[in-house]
Amino acid sequence: MRILFVDDDFMTVDAAITHLKLSGHEVDYVRTPAEAIEKLMWESYGVIFIDVMLPPGKVFDLEETADGRYTGLRLLEVVRSDEQIAKNGLPKTVLITNWRDEPQVDAMAERSDVHILRKPLSLKSVEEVIKNGP
pLDDT in tens, 40-79: 999 999 999 999 998 888 888 777 777 778 899 999 999 9
The answer to whether the CB of 50 falls within 8 A of the CB of 71 is: no
* Distances, alpha carbon 25 to alpha carbons 35, 36, 71, 86, in Å: 20, 18, 27, 22
pLDDT at 134 over 60: no
Q: Which H helix or E strand runs over 72?
A: helix 71-81
pLDDT tens digits, one per residue of 90-124: 889 999 998 777 788 888 888 888 999 999 999 99
Mean pLDDT of 32-46: 94
pLDDT band at 2 (very low <50, low <70, confident <90, very high): very high
The answer to whether the CB of 121 falls within 8 A of the CB of 96 is: yes
Omega cis (within 30) before 56: no
CA–CA distance, 3 with 115 (Å, rounded to integer): 15
What residue spans define the domains of the chain?
2-132
Q: Please state which of the four CATH numbers 2.40.50.1070, 3.40.50.2300, 3.20.20.330, 3.40.109.10 is assigned to the domain occupying 2-132.
A: 3.40.50.2300
Res 88: pLDDT: 86
